[in-house]
Every structure is written in structure tokens, then in C-alpha cells.
């Protein structure tokens, strides 16, 4: 087959693709095997199948069969053929919704996580988020945290003992099974460095998600174990003190910048392997600020030319709240800015790995990809404990990433159990699975799900619908 033939198929899910040319190319690829000749109608159906899943990853197979208007026998044949044409799989991954597949779905499939949830296996969660922070110095307007809510200082010793026991309990096959986030700001826990060293000594590679306001010279001296982290990902809430104050209630930009500049220099001097990156949520009114964000990264790079910032995660506000949604005019401005940012980043920061996330990747390609928005009636009563949990300072095991905040109304309903030095995480999983403990979602519960939870919920709903409709052999289309 020629490169042009492959290219025609691989581009069939992109906006403006020539579907007729892609269908003819698919017919030729399949027809290379004399025993597998493909009709023009079936080639067209295969291309439409790939194009649909490239844009709408979570559609149940039965719905797509109805869309293609084919009977079950023919549809089964199409699914078998799809599995033998890797270019069609590539087309799905290249589509506007491709990041859902590549960032989350296929990784979870390859590691058996989806099957573990589907079959209700008693296994350690694939991802365990540690939420050790007792408080936070910011009050971000898009954060679900209850203003003023915090954990008592008296909980720190017991909480850190619990985290120590958890670290000692966790199997070591996956060094990336745990990360540190919140909840509340992790660096407000004075024992965090000791916990990091304990995990590193067992071979775990922890990433710290932080606002870096407390990543000071004093903190690093008091907690040298922080240098045993695998990575620090700093959330950037603006590019001036005024923007920080508007977003977080605190004028934090200059302090965070000074902390990161100092950290860059010390990281280079120590020849520390710890990676440093950023995350940035594009909030209303700030689409054009991406270019200034790049200049900020370049300035940090200059402090340690041999150790530039390694990664950047760009995201939209995933809260689903109206005040986080960009209007149509600003979305077009964002699309144009994303292209400028991509071009300039390649020149100014060539080592920077940029992840545009589920929606922004599609927007870069000219498609306004809608973020998955799970409604309460789509939430799964048992959630997906085998995929991931969040554990706070009290040892409470939360089923969703945005529920692990103290005092949050309704959040306690999503606690699967409590771990302690005497009770293991695997025991909490077993009790949750064996008792079929479920929660009936109500309006507002959807805000407990972050992007990962949204995608896992959509995937599990899709997979269960496929199995129920008799498509278990091909469930989810791609694995």
C-alpha cells in the first residue's frame, strides 16, 4: 500500500476529510488479502465507523449500528474487519476526540483497569491519590472547597502515621501508583518530605501537585525529603498578582515565581533528577494570556538553561459551572492563540512537552470538541474504586477526586471506607465490592467528578451497554 492510501484512511475522522477517498483506500487495503474482499458499501461503513468514534468516543456500539443502518450479522463483520485495519484505529486516535482514547481510555484498557471495574475485582486501585494537606492558603473561585474548611492540626500525627502504613502496604509493581495532591495544599503538611522519602525508598515515583506558594527555601531545608519526588507540577493561577488575587483571593504570583526561580537554580546545582512542570487552566478573559505564559516559562528556563521546565498541561475549566465557560467569541480567540502558542513554543521552549488535554487538542484542529459532562443520572452507584481513589488526612477513602474536601456538602456519601495503620486499603476495596455499596446521585453530585472520573464513568457506561446488547467481544470498539 502507498503512503497516500494510508494517509487517506488515517485522516478520515478529521474535519473536512474526503470520506469517499478514505473508503476506497480502505477497500484496497482490505482487498490486498484475496480472501477478505470488501464491498464499497462496507468500506464506506468502516470509514463512517472510524469517523464517528474519532469524534464521539463513548457511543455504545448498538447506537452506531443503528446509525449505520446495518443488521447485527453485518455489523459484527464490520467490527472484525475494523480490528484488522490498523489505519482505521489510527484514524480514531487522530480524530477530534482522540485525546480521550490516547490519554486515558486505552491506557486503562491495556492495564486491565476497565475489566477490573467491569468484573468487580478485588484489587488495589490503579491510582491512589494522597491528600495530606491540612489547609490551603488560596481560595480559588472554581474550587469546590468550603471556605475556611481545614483539618485540625491535631490530626497531623495520626494522619501521617496512616499515610506511612499505606505507603508500606502498597504493592510496588507500578512505581507511579501514587501521587500527592488535594483536597488542600499538600505543602502545608510539615511531614510531607518524610512521607516522600519513605515512598521513594520503596521505589515509588511520586508527583506532587501543588500551588508552590509554600515551595520556599525554608520549606526545602525543613523537608529535604521533598527532593526525593519524581516531579512537581505547579498550578499557575495567573501571570500577575492581580490575576492571582482575582482567582485565588491572594496575591501569590510574585512569591510563586520567586520560589520557582530559586528551585530551578537549586535543582540544577544539585543535579537533581526531579522534573518540574506546570498546569494552567484557561479561564474566561485569559485566552490570549497563553503567549505570556510561554514567556514566563522561558524566564524560568533562563534561571537554569540546562534544566528547562519539562512539561505543561493546558486545560479548560472542567467544573461545568457557567462562570467557567468561554463564550463563542473567546473560543475562536483561544483557537487562534493555541496555534500561535504551539508555533512559538517549538521555537522558544523546544524541550517543553505540552499536553492540550481532551478538548483543547480538538480545538487546535478546528473542532470545538465538547468536554464529557456526566449528569447525576449517569453516575454509577459503585463508581470505579478499582481505577482510583483519594485518601485524606483522616484516612477516608473517597471515590471521586473532587469529593475529598473537608466539610463539603454531600461528599461523605462518597467515602468507601477508612484506612488506618490497622486497616489496609485492600480491605476497604473488598468491603466496598462485597457489599455492593452504592450511592444514589442527586443534583450537584456531578461536581465531585474531575476529568478523569468523567471519562472513566463514560467509558464504563459505554462498555456495560455494549455487553448488555450482546457486543462483549468488541465492547468499547478499541482496547
Confidence (pLDDT) at 89? 97
Confidence (pLDDT) at 141? 64
The answer on pLDDT for 431 being more than 60 is: yes
End-to-end Cα, the chain, rounded Å: 25
User: 3-state secondary structure string, the chain?
Assistant: CCHHHHHHHHCCCCCCCCHHHHHHHHHHHHHCCHHHCCCHHHHHHHHHHHHHHHHCCCCCHHHHHHHHCCCHHHHHHHHHHHHCCHHHHHHHHHCCCHHHHHHHHHHHHHCCHHHHHHCCCCCCCCEEEEECCCCCCCCCCCCCCCCCCCCCHHHHHHHHHHHHHHHHHCCCCCCCCEEECCCCCHHHCCCHHHHHHHHHHCCCCCEEEECCCCCCHHHHHHCHHHHHCCEEEEEECCCCHHHHHHHHCCCCHHHHHHHHHHHHHHHHHHCCCCEEEEEEEECCCCHHHHHHHHHHHHHHHHCCCCCCCCEEEEEECCCCCHHHCCCHHHHHHHHHHHHHHHHHHHHHCCCCEEECHHHHHHHHCCCCCCCCCCCHHHCCCCCCCCCEEEEECCCEEECCCCCCCCCCCCHHHHEEEECECCECHHHHHHHHHHCCCCCCCCCCHHHHCCHHHHHHHHHHHHHHHHHHCCCHHHCCCCC
**Contacts (Cβ under 8 Å, ≥6 apart) of 78:** 42, 45, 46, 49, 68, 70
**Confidence band of 34 (pLDDT split at 50, 70, 90):** low
**Confidence band of 1 (pLDDT split at 50, 70, 90):** very low
Q: Could you tell me if 129 and 390 are in contact, meaning their C-beta atoms sit under 8 angstroms apart?
A: yes
The answer on pLDDT for 2 being more than 70 is: no
**Confidence band of 332 (pLDDT split at 50, 70, 90):** confident
Set of cell numbers at residue 256: 510563586
pLDDT, mean of residues 355-360? 83
pTM of the predicted model as reported, rounded to 2 decimal places: 0.92
Confidence (pLDDT) at 38? 84
Q: Which residue has the higher pLDDT, 15 or 291?
A: 291
Confidence (pLDDT) at 371? 75
Cβ-in-10-Å burial (0-12, 13-18, 19+) of 241 comes to middle
What angle (nearest 5°) sits at the alpha carbon of residue 384, between those of residues 383 and 385? 110
pLDDT digits (tens, 9 = 90+) for 145-169: 666 788 999 999 999 999 999 999 9
Phi, psi of 220 (to 5 degrees): -65, -30
Q: Could you tell me if 194 and 226 are in contact, meaning their C-beta atoms sit under 8 angstroms apart?
A: no
> What is the spatial distance between Cα 426 and Cα 223, in angstroms, rounded to a whole number?
30
Confidence (pLDDT) at 375? 95
Q: Which residue has the higher pLDDT, 467 or 320?
A: 467
The answer on pLDDT for 466 being more than 60 is: yes
**Confidence band of 15 (pLDDT split at 50, 70, 90):** confident
Confidence (pLDDT) at 282? 86
Question: What Å distances lie between residue 471 and 43, 47, 78, 100, 383, CA to CA?
Answer: 21, 20, 12, 21, 23
Q: Which residue has the cell 455499596?
A: 437
pLDDT, mean of residues 88-100? 93
The answer on pLDDT for 319 being more than 60 is: no
**Confidence band of 321 (pLDDT split at 50, 70, 90):** low
Q: Which residue has the higher pLDDT, 212 or 317?
A: 212
Instruction: Report the candidate in 143, 139, 56, 138 with the shortest Cα–Cα distance to residue 321.
Output: 143
What is the CATH number assigned to the segment(s) 127-376? 3.20.20.70
pLDDT, mean of residues 449-464? 95
The answer on pLDDT for 112 being more than 50 is: yes
pLDDT, mean of residues 338-358? 92
Confidence (pLDDT) at 364? 74
Q: What percentage of the chain exceeds 90 in pLDDT?
A: 75
Set of cell numbers at residue 91: 484514524
pLDDT digits (tens, 9 = 90+) for 368-417: 666 788 999 999 999 999 999 999 999 999 999 999 888 889 999 999 99
Of the given ranges (50-59, 68-77, 112-121, 130-139), which has the lowest mean pLDDT? Answer: 130-139
pLDDT, mean of residues 323-340? 76
* 120 torsion bin: left (phi>0), alpha (psi -120 to 50), beta (else): left
| Domain locations in the chain as residue ranges | 3-95, 127-376, 377-474
The answer on pLDDT for 119 being more than 90 is: yes
Confidence (pLDDT) at 137? 79
Confidence (pLDDT) at 147? 67
Confidence (pLDDT) at 183? 80
Confidence (pLDDT) at 413? 95
Amino acid at each position: 500500500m502507498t503512503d497516500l492510501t494510508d494517509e487517506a484512511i488515517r485522516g478520515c475522522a478529521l474535519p473536512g476529510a474526503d470520506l469517499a477517498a478514505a473508503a476506497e483506500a480502505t477497500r484496497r487495503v482490505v482487498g490486498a488479502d484475496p480472501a477478505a474482499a470488501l464491498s464499497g458499501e462496507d468500506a464506506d461503513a468502516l470509514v463512517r465507523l472510524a469517523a464517528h468514534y474519532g469524534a464521539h468516543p463513548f457511543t455504545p456500539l448498538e447506537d452506531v449500528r443503528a446509525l449505520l443502518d446495518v443488521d447485527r450479522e453485518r455489523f459484527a463483520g464490520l467490527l472484525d474487519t475494523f480490528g484488522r485495519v490498523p489505519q482505521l484505529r489510527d484514524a480514531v486516535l487522530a480524530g477530534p476526540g482522540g485525546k480521550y482514547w490516547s490519554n486515558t481510555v486505552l491506557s486503562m484498557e491495556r492495564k486491565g483497569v476497565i475489566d477490573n471495574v467491569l468484573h468487580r475485582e478485588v484489587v488495589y486501585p490503579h491510582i491512589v491519590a494522597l491528600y495530606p494537606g491540612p489547609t490551603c492558603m488560596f481560595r480559588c473561585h472554581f474550587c469546590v472547597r468550603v471556605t475556611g474548611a481545614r483539618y485540625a492540626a491535631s490530626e497531623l500525627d495520626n494522619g501521617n502515621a496512616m499515610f506511612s502504613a499505606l505507603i508500606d502496604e502498597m504493592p510496588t509493581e507500578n512505581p507511579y501508583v501514587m501521587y500527592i495532591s488535594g483536597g488542600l495544599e499538600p505543602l502545608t503538611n510539615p511531614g510531607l518530605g518524610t512521607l516522600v522519602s519513605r515512598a521513594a525508598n520503596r521505589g515509588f515515583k511520586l508527583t506532587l501537585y501543588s500551588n508552590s506558594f509554600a515551595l520556599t527555601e525554608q520549606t526545602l531545608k525543613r523537608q529535604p525529603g521533598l527532593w526525593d519526588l519524581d516531579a512537581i507540577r505547579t498550578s499557575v493561577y495567573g501571570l500577575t498578582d492581580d490575576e492571582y488575587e482575582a482567582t485565588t483571593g491572594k496575591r501569590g504570583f510574585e512569591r510563586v515565581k520567586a520560589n520557582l526561580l530559586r528551585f530551578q537554580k537549586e535543582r540544577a546545582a544539585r543535579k537533581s533528577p526531579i522534573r518540574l512542570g506546570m498546569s494552567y487552566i484557561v479561564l474566561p478573559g485569559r485566552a490570549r494570556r497563553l503567549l505570556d505564559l510561554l514567556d514566563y516559562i522561558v524566564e524560568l528556563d533562563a534561571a537554569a538553561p540546562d534544566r528547562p521546565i519539562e512539561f505543561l498541561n493546558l486545560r479548560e475549566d472542567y467544573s461545568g459551572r457557567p462562570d467557567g465557560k468561554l463564550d463563542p467569541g473567546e473560543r475562536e480567540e483561544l483557537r487562534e492563540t493555541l496555534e500561535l502558542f504551539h508555533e512559538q513554543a517549538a521555537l522558544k521552549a523546544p524541550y517543553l512537552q505540552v499536553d492540550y488535554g481532551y478538548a483543547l487538542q480538538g480545538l487546535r484542529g478546528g473542532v470545538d470538541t465538547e468536554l464529557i459532562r456526566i449528569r447525576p443520572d449517569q453516575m454509577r452507584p459503585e463508581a470505579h474504586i478499582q481505577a482510583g481513589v483519594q485518601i485524606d488526612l483522616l484516612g477516608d477513602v473517597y471515590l471521586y477526586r473532587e469529593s475529598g474536601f473537608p466539610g463539603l456538602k454531600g461528599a461523605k456519601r462518597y467515602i468507601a471506607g477508612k484506612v488506618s495503620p490497622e486497616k489496609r486499603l485492600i480491605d476497604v476495596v473488598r468491603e466496598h465490592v462485597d457489599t455492593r455499596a452504592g450511592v444514589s446521585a442527586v443534583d450537584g453530585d456531578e461536581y465531585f467528578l474531575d476529568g478523569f472520573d468523567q471519562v472513566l464513568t463514560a467509558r464504563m457506561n459505554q462498555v456495560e451497554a455494549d455487553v448488555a446488547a450482546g457486543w462483549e467481544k468488541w465492547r468499547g470498539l478499541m482496547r
